[in-house]
Chains A and B, each alone.
Chain A
Amino acid sequence: MNNYIKYFSFCFLIIIVLPAWAQVPATPMKDIFGFRQKLTTVTAGIKTIESDFTQEKKLSILSNTLVSKGNFCFRRENNIRWEYMQPYKYLIIISQDKIYIKEEKDQKQYDIQSNKMFQEMNKFISGCIQGDILKNEKDYKIGYFEDSHYFFVTLVPVSEKMRQMLNEIQIWFDRTDLTVARIRMMEPGGDFTKIDFVNKKLNTDIPVEKFSFK
């Protein structure tokens, strides 16, 4: 009997959870121009963002999802801090043209210009957070959708090389304050990384020392 209960509870969970997880807003956005204009105004007024995040990495070779958790800070201009708390401590600060990485036993500092990967990563992440990436119609084919909770934007890289790495980037903007609620980076073959931003605080006083390298 107990096994039956477990079995039905499991099926119930699958039915309830799976569509919510898989669902993306599919209704084309009615007022793209209005959304973009509002986003420009709102992001211009954002000086700082502080948020917790949960990152999930889905790999087709694994039966489960890899989960990381931490804290994210942004301070205009170009100051980003990702602090991973789980499954291990790791800190990455991108400030102006420098990148600083602190691992459990080691810390390193790089000139962002010297590393193409960091350069692209920085441009991409800050572009997503600040919404600037939507202005880049040269490098991405952009799709606009919406539902009652989110404005949903899809970016398909134009470059074949970029598409080998990520074939679509999806960004969920919260309808209430137009901040980024979720980013999902889709890879060819179905693997993806999903980052959910929760407990967001806008324009709080984040000391500049948080982005300095010690």
Chain B
Amino acid sequence: MKLDQLGNQRRMGRHMGLPCSGKYMGIPALLIILFCINGCSFGLMEGYQKTEQFSIEPVSWFKTDSDHLLMNTTIDVMKNHFSGLMVIKSLTNGGYRVVFITEVGLKIFDMEFVPGERVKVYYLMDALNKKIIIKTLSADLRLLLIQPQEDEKPVLYDSPSGQKMARYKHKRKKDYYEISALTGKPVQAYQVSVTSKKARIDYYSRDGVRIDSVNIVHYHVNLQIGMHLIKENSQDAVK
């Protein structure tokens, strides 16, 4: 089956006049690399056109009037399962403090995100204190909370069906947000590197005003994060 597909692709290449063998073999590879470096979005932007017709910016679900949001959270990383409460507090400087604690109260991590600054790790449980985990977790949370570089304006895209997409750059990675045209709040977010899609976030909200739940999945790493909002006032969760 795979051979057939490859054969078809080769045939298509010939049909389209692309050289597939011999001394020209390096050219398609070079084109692919150039295509990727110049902003390959791996199918995300199909049908979208760059636009300056609207100026709406992505608005974080976690920027609220309340002091903080409390999310019932599970993190499955490799063979480890962590569950507990994620406390997300928005800061006056546009950043967020994110603290994750187990049900029995032990702190798993405590991080601070400020636009344009590197993530500040106040605490990270020993079992998670690995460079790759810190990097992946902080990239996920940055994508979730929407933390562009300082004063960075998003590149905006429009589709014929009226869907809006915004893009921020983070070094060699790009954060894409499919946003609501009315509120600017994201429906989906993707993190894309030079070579592939890294992570996807699905945001769920029943009323379009307050976040209900979030699901973060990774394409190449065995890491999944699920979050559900806890309605504190109605359930006597605070004192």
Q: Per-position contact with A for B79-104: 1 when CB-CB < 8 Å, else 0?
A: 11111010101000000010101111
Complex partner residue of B123 from A67, A84, A164, CB under 8 angstroms: A164
Q: Are B127 and A185 in contact (CB under 8 A)?
A: no
Complex partner residue of B74 from A66, A106, A185, CB under 8 angstroms: A106
Q: Are A86 and B99 in contact (CB under 8 A)?
A: no
Residue of B nearest to A161 (CB): B126
Pick from A44-52, A109-117, A140-148 the stretch touching chain B: A109-117
Q: Are B67 and A86 in contact (CB under 8 A)?
A: no
Q: 21 pairs across A/B with beta carbons < 8 Å?
A: A59-B99, A62-B67, A63-B67, A64-B238, A65-B238, A66-B85, A82-B103, A87-B70, A87-B235, A87-B236, A87-B237, A106-B74, A115-B81, A116-B127, A117-B80, A117-B82, A125-B104, A187-B107, A193-B104, A193-B106, A195-B104
Complex partner residue of A115 from B68, B80, B101, B104, CB under 8 angstroms: B80
**A170 smallest CB distance to B (angstroms):** 13
Q: Per-position contact with B for A167-192: 1 when CB-CB < 8 Å, else 0?
A: 00000000000000000010101010
B20 at the interface (CB under 8 A from A): no
**A196 smallest CB distance to B (angstroms):** 12
User: CA of A164 to CA of B87 in the docked complex: distance in angstroms?
Assistant: 20
**A102 smallest CB distance to B (angstroms):** 10
B135 at the interface (CB under 8 A from A): no
A11 at the interface (CB under 8 A from B): no
User: Size class of B's contact patch?
Assistant: 35 or more
**B236 smallest CB distance to A (angstroms):** 6
Complex partner residue of B103 from A65, A67, A68, CB under 8 angstroms: A68
Q: Are A64 and B239 in contact (CB under 8 A)?
A: yes
Known: A193-B105, A195-B105. A87 touches B230 (CB 8 A): yes
Known: A61-B87, A88-B72. A121 touches B104 (CB 8 A): yes
Inter-chain contacts of B152 with A (CB < 8 A): none
Complex partner residue of B235 from A86, A104, A187, A189, CB under 8 angstroms: A86
A90 at the interface (CB under 8 A from B): yes
With most chain B CB atoms within 10 A of its CB, the pick from A88, A114, A165, A166 is A88
**B111 smallest CB distance to A (angstroms):** 11
With most chain B CB atoms within 10 A of its CB, the pick from A61, A101, A121 is A61
Known: A61-B87, A62-B67, A65-B238. A165 touches B97 (CB 8 A): no
Given contacts A64-B239, A66-B87, A117-B82, 19 further A-B contacts (CB under 8 A): A59-B99, A61-B68, A62-B67, A62-B68, A64-B67, A66-B85, A82-B104, A84-B103, A87-B230, A103-B83, A108-B81, A115-B80, A116-B127, A117-B125, A165-B107, A185-B105, A187-B107, A193-B105, A193-B106
Residues of B203-239 whose CB lies within 8 A of A: 228, 230, 232, 235-239
User: CA of A103 to CA of B79 in the docked complex: distance in angstroms?
Assistant: 18
User: CA of A185 to CA of B106 in the docked complex: distance in angstroms?
Assistant: 9
